[in-house]
Structure 1
Amino acid sequence: IDKIVELQHYSRGKKRKEEIRDTIYIHNILFEFDKNVINDPVLDILAEYLKNNPKAIIEIGGHADSNGPEIYNIHLSLRRAIYINNYLIDKGVSPAALIVKGYGEKYPLIPNDIPDGAEYDSLHKFNRRVDFKVIREGKQVLIINEIPIPEYLKNHRDDDILDNLFADNDNDGVLNKDDNCIDQAGPVNNGGCPEVKEEVKEVMKKAMEGLFFNPGSDIIKKSSYKVLNNVVEVMESNPGYKLSIKGHTDNQGKADFNLELSQKRADAAKNYLIGKGIDSRRIQTKGFGMSMPVAPNNTREGRKKNRRVEFEIVF
């Protein structure tokens, strides 16, 4: 086979791969190398669909090939998605109907390590793209992703290729290539990841609000042990959970000192949880210093809010 055409038909909340009549056809938008501007008539079709289906929400996902630094490709993919977003808004689409994401080189349709001798640009142009996902459907829409098969794979069994392209490890209806949690089931509007219960989010919020340190210190006050023990209980009850701990400071003092202090405080929270039996491999930490304030630093109350350690469940 020369290519696979993946049909994502959204109707009554279900997705299936089959031929559908009376639908609109939306294909991937392909970009020239290092470009983020495009003119494709399919965008006008998509704009009309969104205007006629005000309940529909579309994710615009920007992608890049692997040529160039990773961080540059992330920014390039985002600029591509933003260009499409702005084009649709100029055509009268409500901004509320659009979600913009830049994935960089993370999700190639064609492997980035194709063998020597393959025509790089003719294949990897399919990685320089914007694709679309229906987050919430209106009437019905058919998203078509034409996925070319490289020459060196054409001798493989067709079933093997199909199995890889349409793999869904956790059987949640979100294909592996679109799933942020391929081994844990979750809804499409959460990227295929499990939804975190509101009571768990509340435990994490109280941990942030109730974790206290002495000024300039990374020693946790004993009064904070209770909220941390609640985090321990959540992690013990949910072995699939991982935890991201982020440290922050106000703007008092030198930036280098605050960055180091924020990391030490995040690590102190991690070490407390490890001491209670939580596997260190389930916890990641990062200190941001004074770079991410949530309140003005020109008031005492604002600085207090900025001196914080955040807890977030990740997968």
Structure 2
Amino acid sequence: MKYLLLLFGLLLSAQEKASFYFDFDQDTFNPKQNELFLSWLNKDETREILVINGYCDWYGTYEYNDTLAYKRIHTVHEQLKLKNSIFFTSDLKINGYGERVQTRKERRHNRRVDVFYNVFPEKIKKEEKVVYDDPEVYTGQKISDEPIPVNKINKEFQPVDPEELIHLEAIPNRYANAKVGDKLVMKNLYFYDRSGIFVPESLPVMEELLDFMVSNPKAKIEIQGHICCQLGEDPEDIALIRAIAVHNYLVANDIDDSRLLYKSFGSSQPIHKIPEKNEKERNENRRVEILILEN
């Protein structure tokens, strides 16, 4: 009976599309994207999957990106198969386009999987419809719809002992008095090894930069990535990936892309001579700097 209803429902259903985004060079969801994907996956409605398309940006070889596109499709497909309320059409189409089809101008929008599907009208609740084609999906770095400047304190979260309270309002934003041409190191900005994914402890550093950009709407910056330890080229483009991660965080928090540039210097501008003497010098060489272009 279920399958008869399913076939009958197909005659009345309307095709829909959901897009799910991936971080640079990743084939699994970041935490924010995973949350949004699961929200869509667990909706109380019956769906039939018609087409699954995978895409990549233009960075990398055709062969590499073709493989990466199918890995992203696999991530989505395997989750879909686990849901009893989701069915696949008998002529399901799975297309891995790699970088060969660029559907968006900005490359971060092309790191995605599109799912086309039918929804049965009796299960649709229009008020619950979610638009997934949204900038916050592909970065995983958005904190809130209304970012709170770091110099504001939520009184509910103050320590019980006021003597131990660190008064954040007394800590000035390091960018506040920056002039055109100034270059500031994003101190205490850390990433997971060989990636552009921030460790949680780095979010206050990102919030400080975001607060500056929100408070100074005319400011424009260049985000500069650097690596340590090896002279010459950056074969994995880690410096570039990390500069892009900072850029994407700001865009996801509603900073206009036209105010941002990013660039990799690899190991060409070390603070300490390479090879470094110790881990402290290596940490100081592997960094992201902010160059103030306009303010």
* TM-score bracket for this pair, using the shorter chain length: 0.3 to 0.5
TM-score by length of 1: 0.34
TM-score by length of 2: 0.36
Structure ranking higher on relative contact order (CA contacts 8 Å, 6+ apart): 2
